[in-house]
Structure 1
Amino acid sequence: MTTTKDAFTRRSLLKSAAGTLATVAAARSLLPGGAWAATSAPEVTGAKLGYIALTDSAPLIIAKEKGFFDKHGMPDVSIEKQASWGALRDNMALGGASGGIDGAHNLRPKTHLYATGKVMQNGVPLPTYTLMSLNENCQGISVANAYADTGVQRDAGALREVFAQKKAAGTPATVAMTFPGGTHDLWVRYWLAAGGIDPNTDVNLIVVPPPQMVANMKVGNMDAFCVGEPWNEQLANQKIGFTATTTSELWMRHPEKVLNMRAEWVDANPNAAVAIIAAVMEAQIWCEQMENKEEMAKIVSGRQWYNVPARDIIGRIKGDINYGNGREETGTPYLMRFWGEKGESSYPWKSLDTWFITENKRWGYFPADLDTKALVDNTNRSDLWLQAAGLLGLDTAGFGDSRGVETFFDGKSFDPANPEAYLASLPIKAMA
């Protein structure tokens, strides 16, 4: 694991978030009457933003519930639940003016998959921008109770023999993820491949919407799945299966969801886009504070948002993990991060986009000769994030294009300046 990105404790987490809130409060006090004011007024007062019932959508919900959108001149922002990642995609294609949505809590690679038309109807590109990261860490890979005796945890190799037996018998193991080429697809593929299991030939990969994961495992439709919270925790709480590993254990401080929006909307309303980013930043800072975790879980668990018990949410956002199968750990560093020490969890590093595109080349979703840099530069709007940070009076020193070399649990490293070397080091891949 990388050591520069994961060294923090509950105390430093609380201290850094509280310090950021103090900075934001000080900046607000300098404005007339203590009111929030953008450098230029938003062109519109609202936008339609979609979300999936996953804990990492919390910043959007908190921004709405706590009035942060109102503060930034965007009182008419609506946060609209989507049934699946496919439905969210289709509503993004429609756009808010045509009964769909303008942007969303989304899987990070979907910005690239939309913009290239790879997952769009008839292959028609939908230009979209990544405006900010919403969180790091805290997804999970869970397996059915039938595999408890294998002892499988971070090393998927513990499943290699039993999965090979199922394949030989003509009933290959079924592994679910949430969207082709999305983060959960890439996490479970990486995990399987690192354990010597080819995700393209040794198992049957299927797509299941996040809220349907637990019910499908309960009736025996799958052997394993990768999804965000609260669904891994709910699985363990209901004793239907157990979490083999959190994704944080595969890649500490890995990026997850983003806020992305239709390029057409952002280009027409750049001030409103900055105001939305600033509002969500405030929500991320609030969500990062340990003393707010209980309230956050209570809010997002409500019927109008996730409609799940708060107990399925609270543990893992604090770092207390009930893996199931008799394994529990408290105070781990694997909790979901929304902000970080100074906003590094929120900033949309271009180097991380480069990794996702490279992985999608690895598995054949993108051609090997795709111009990665051009795609990243055309879709990543870190410039707007920096404008929003300036609006909040935050220190942006040190934020550039690259987070540096990333190192994974199996010892592999990714240098964003040389993705070809990374690809060459991987023994299992779909590309030629």
Structure 2
Amino acid sequence: MTLTRVRIGFLPLVDAALPILARERGFAEAQGLAIELVRDATWAAVRDRLLYGHSDAAHLVAPLAIATALGRDRPAVPMAVPFVLGLNGNAVTFSMRLAEEVGLGDRLGDPHVIGAALKAVAATRRLRFGVVHRYSSHNYMLRYWLAGVGIRPDTDVEIVVTSPLFAADALAAGDVDGICVGEPWNSIAVDRGVGRIALATAQIWRRGVEKVLAMRADTAERDPATVARLIRALHAAAEHFVRADTVEDTAALLAESRYLDAPADAVLRAITDRIRLTPGAEPVHYPDFMFQHREAANFPWRSQAAWLYSQMVRWEGMAFDERDAAVAAGTFRPDLYRAALAGSGAVLPGASSKLEGALAEPIGAGATQGRLMLGRDGFFDGRAFDPDDVAGYLKGLP
């Protein structure tokens, strides 16, 4: 059988697991695909490789796909996100000095308590935080938390961009006081003794959208059959990822030099929801630190894209625009996800949008296939996001 080649760009992060597993554990080949993976060091490089035809799809921070479709910082290119590669999985890590100043303990603290202590430090000196890209969930999650505890991003603290690969180095050099990056780079900072984990981003928005499979919209339109096969391969990889009997094998694979080039133990901790907060400490268990597969976690909810757009408007000082909001939400393609997985064992939500952050307890939800349960998804400040009233939501934010 002749396999269809699909080239996918990625950054060395734990949430690049699904394309890697699809390639290495036969899920792509079972769908008639040969995945070629291209490793980069920055999200800008991954995005540019995709836009200029050097890759067919990408492991990408979700807001960057939306920003590209809207023409932020460059000419607009319509984008399609038919699959979410995972929810949460990031953390906020402080330098050793800042950790001592805010009194971090030996377990994950409360976002409000840590925020109050951080606000007091920020009143005495200018703090700088590193995020992985201007258009990243890391940037928006960090800003959401800071604003929610009374710290003004860009006024009380500075936020700069640093590659995940060099985030620990930036902490060690004193270039930044904190980072918000994906795993395993927070854990590497801790293991090197240059940082302490303050918060998991799941504490800021539980079930927050993170990396996605992104492609140019014309690629999805030109060859929908290949896109459907890729979605099916990634779905099988996600099912494999969450099995208890595969985690050690998965960690060893991801840790290899051609992929993450990182300690296997740090990778294993991330995929088993265990976080080492301080150097040499026993890891603490935080359920759903990196959320995958269950509760239709890979489904591209348009309401998630709408929330990201709301933060783009908020932090760039733009006016809310109905047309831009429609483009942003339309970048996420639940129609492609449903078409690919119809008739399989996958759970398919009946709706394409939902109220985000409103669930305090698990609840059943409508599905066109399978049985869908949705778990707690709250924001730390108790707010909920209605994708049908983005303008109203923005008016109520601090």
Give TM-score scaled by structure 1 length: 0.81
Say if 2:81 and 2:212, in contact at 8 Å, map to a contact too. Answer: yes
Residue 190 of structure 1 corresponds to which residue in structure 2? 144
Written as runs of structure 1 = structure 2, the 5 A alignment for 1:56-75 is 56-75=15-34
Aligned structure 1 segments of 4 or more residues deviating by more than 4 angstroms: 325-329
Contact 1:349-1:382 within 8 A present in 2 as well: yes
State the number of aligned residues. Answer: 370
Residue of structure 2 in register with 1:422 after alignment: 393
Please state how far the C-alpha of 1:355 moved relative to its aligned partner.
0.5
**In the alignment, does 2:322 pair up with 1:364?**
no
For residue 241 of structure 1, what is the aligned residue in structure 2? 195
Cα distance, 1:119 vs structure 2: 3.0
The one-character-per-residue Cα deviations of 1:279-322 (angstroms, maximum 9, x if unpaired) are 01110111111221111110010011110111111112111111
Q: Which residue of the partner structure matches residue 383 of structure 2? A: 412
Question: 2:290 and 2:307 mapped to 1: Cα distance?
Answer: 20
What's 1:265 paired with?
Answer: 219
The answer to whether the 8 Å contact 2:132/2:139 transfers is yes
Look up the equivalent residue of 2:29 and give its one-letter code.
Answer: D
> Deviations 1:46-72 (Å, cap 9, x if unpaired)?
121100111111001000001111111
1:390 to 342, 347, 355: 342
> Contact conserved, 1:180 with 1:207, CA < 8 A, in 2?
yes
Which sits farther off after the overlay, 157-166 or 368-377?
368-377
What residue identity is the alignment partner of 1:349? W
368, 390, 401: which one pairs with 2:352? 401
Asked if structure 1 preserves the Cα contact closer than 8 Å seen for 2:47 and 2:60, the reply is no
Aligned residue among 68, 77, 81 for 1:126: 77
Alignment partners' CA distance in 2, 1:231 and 1:333: 19
1:388 shift after superposition: 1.7
Q: CA deviation at 1:110?
A: 1.3
Equivalent residue for 1:345, pick from 297, 301, 321: 297
Partner of 1:289: 243
Pairing 1:105–2:59 present: yes
- In the superposition, relative to structure 1, how do residues 365 and 213 fare at CA in structure 2: closer, same or farther (>3 Å)? farther
- Could you give the per-residue CA deviations for residues 9-31 of structure 1, whole angstroms, max 9, x where no partner exists? xxxxxxxxxxxxxxxxxxxxxxx
Report how far residue 272 of structure 1 moved.
0.4
Q: 1:83 aligns with which of 16, 25, 41?
A: 41
Q: Which amino acid aligns with 1:50?
A: G
Matched, 1:181 2:135: yes
- Greater Cα shift, 244-253 or 148-157: 148-157
Q: RMSD of aligned C-alpha atoms?
A: 2.0
Q: 1:87 to 1:365 in 2, by over 3 A?
A: farther
Q: Which has the higher strand share?
A: 2
Conserved? CA contact 2:238–2:293, under 8 Å:
yes
Match of 1:50 among 2, 9, 13: 9
User: Counterpart of 1:32?
Assistant: none
SS at structure 2 position matched to 1:346:
coil
Other-structure match for 2:119: 160
Contact 2:355–2:384 (CA<8 Å) still a contact in 1? no
Query: Bigger shift: 196-205 or 299-308?
Result: 196-205
What CA distance in whole angstroms lies between the structure 1 residues aligned with 2:213 and 2:342?
A: 19
My pick for the range that moved more, 284-293 or 223-232, is 284-293
Checking the alignment, whether the CA contact within 8 Å between 1:51 and 1:82 is kept in structure 2 is yes
Provide the residue aligned with 2:370 in structure 1.
none
Q: Which runs of 5+ in 2 are unaligned?
A: 358-377
Give the secondary-structure state (helix, strand or coil) at the position aligned to 1:132. Answer: strand
Stretch deviating more after TM superposition (85-94 or 354-363): 85-94
CA displacement at 1:230 relative to structure 2: 0.4
Aligned equivalents of 1:147, 1:374: Cα separation in 2: 41
CA distance in 1, matches of 2:137, 2:153: 15
For residues 238-286 of structure 1, give each alpha carbon's deviation from its aligned partner in whole angstroms, at most 9, with x where no partner exists. Answer: 2211111000111111111100111121111110011111101110111
Q: Aligned AA for 1:125?
A: A
Counterpart of 2:306? 354
Gaps of 5+ in 1: 1-34, 36-41, 167-171, 428-432
**Whole-angstrom CA distance in 2 between matches of 1:395 and 1:86:** 33
